[in-house]
Amino acid sequence: MLDRQPAVAHSRPAPSLRAEGITSGYGGVPVIRDVSIAVGPEEIVAVIGPNGAGKSTLLKSLIGILRVTQGRVLLGDQDVTNHPPEELARRGVGYVPQVNDIFEPLTVLENLEMGGYLLAPARIRHRVEEVGQVFPALPPMFKRRADKLSGGERKMLAIARVLMLDPKVLILDEPTANLSPKLADALLSEDVKRLAGAGKAVLLVEQRARAALQIATWTSVLVSGATRLEGPPRDLLQRADFEELFLGAAPGRSAAQQDEEENEKK
């Protein structure tokens, strides 16, 4: 992993999507405060942090599901703060939520077609073919109902559905949450890496801190709604106080221990 770090550790591409000091929450109560994050082509930016830190809140604020009350969200150099999610989708930001990520009563194919809802019918057919090439396991399952899929197949479909619009930016909220360690590892180290390698800007929320650090090009640690620290994963891992920062987040357990425990539950 460390070998893959760029020679200039902090050199990053121009951001495709970024948040500058955003504050947002629920019912007027801020959950995240003054959070900044950026992701550019070929990057995998991992947001890690304990349960309830505000990771999902951050993602929802970026794509217009939650109202940003301070700061701004920029797509390229354009201000898209509080623009509706459909607009963000149309402008190349794909979002795979943590739950409710597919339409269960529909077939796999119908889910993909729904994902292409902004496209002309001929284009939808074309994209179904292309997305089927990205995830070759999907076409043989086209006629299956989505609620009959395994956890891994389901997450693959959820990502594929979002790929229908060929997003520049892919936002994934805990894609490995219900997967076995083996499947989680495959999804991150193969699929997610491949998508970033193909030029997409990937913003990933993960509770499996160690697994996320292995594929991330940049990491941000969110604790209690604020960025506790950020940097290349190598820098984070080398910090003497890295474990302590995580211990502060979840008393008595290191990030590695949390990850182990997560894995044992599967």
Ligand X SMILES: Nc1ncnc2c1ncn2[C@@H]1O[C@H](COP(=O)(O)OP(=O)(O)O)[C@@H](O)[C@H]1O
Task: Tell me whether residue 25 or residue 132 sits nearer to Mg ion (CB atom).
Answer: 25
CA atoms within 13 Å, Cβ hemisphere of 153 = 18
Residue 51 binding result from Mg ion, ligand X, none, given CB thresholds of 5 to 8 Å by partner type: ligand X
Least distance (Å) from Mg ion to the CB of residue 173?
6
Counting residues that bind Mg ion (by CB under 5 A) gives: 2
Which of 17, 22, 31, 183 binds ligand X (CB under 6 A)? It is 31
Contact 242, 256 (CB under 8 A): no
If we measure between CA atoms, which residue out of 53, 54, 61 comes closest to residue 19? 61
Distance CA 71, CA 36 (A): 9
Least distance (Å) from Mg ion to the CB of residue 11?
30
Q: Examine residue 210 and tell whether it contacts ligand X (CB under 6 A).
A: no
Q: Which residue do the tokens 């892919």 mark?
A: 170
Least distance (Å) from ligand X to the CB of residue 222?
7
Helix orientation angle between 151-163 and 121-134, rounded to the nearest 10 degrees = 140
Residue 97 binding result from ligand X, Mg ion, none, given CB thresholds of 5 to 8 Å by partner type: none
Q: Is 204 left (phi over 0), alpha (psi -120 to 50) or beta?
A: beta
Classify residue 263 as exposed, middle or buried by CB count within 10 Å of its CB (0-12, 13-18, 19+).
middle
Task: Tell me whether residue 27 or residue 121 sits nearer to ligand X (CB atom).
Answer: 27
Task: Tell me whether residue 48 or residue 195 sits nearer to Mg ion (CB atom).
Answer: 48
Counting residues that bind ligand X (by CB under 6 A) gives: 10
Residue 64 binding result from Mg ion, ligand X, none, given CB thresholds of 5 to 8 Å by partner type: none
Q: Examine residue 26 and tell whether it contacts ligand X (CB under 6 A).
A: yes
CA atoms within 13 Å, Cβ hemisphere of 134 = 26
Residues within window 40-99 making contact with ligand X, judged by CB under 6 A: 49, 51-57
Least distance (Å) from Mg ion to the CB of residue 69?
20
Distance CA 240, CA 220 (A): 17
Task: Tell me whether residue 92 or residue 225 sits nearer to ligand X (CB atom).
Answer: 225
In this structure, what token pair is assigned to residue 74? 């920029």
Least distance (Å) from Mg ion to the CB of residue 161?
19
Report the chain's C-alpha Rg in angstroms.
18
Residues within window 31-70 making contact with Mg ion, judged by CB under 5 A: 55-56
Least distance (Å) from Mg ion to the CB of residue 187?
17
Residue 138 binding result from Mg ion, ligand X, none, given CB thresholds of 5 to 8 Å by partner type: none
Which amino acid is residue 91, in one-letter code?
Answer: R
- H/E element, 255: helix 255-265
Binding site for ligand X (CB under 6 A): 26, 31, 49, 51-57
Binding site for Mg ion (CB under 5 A): 55-56
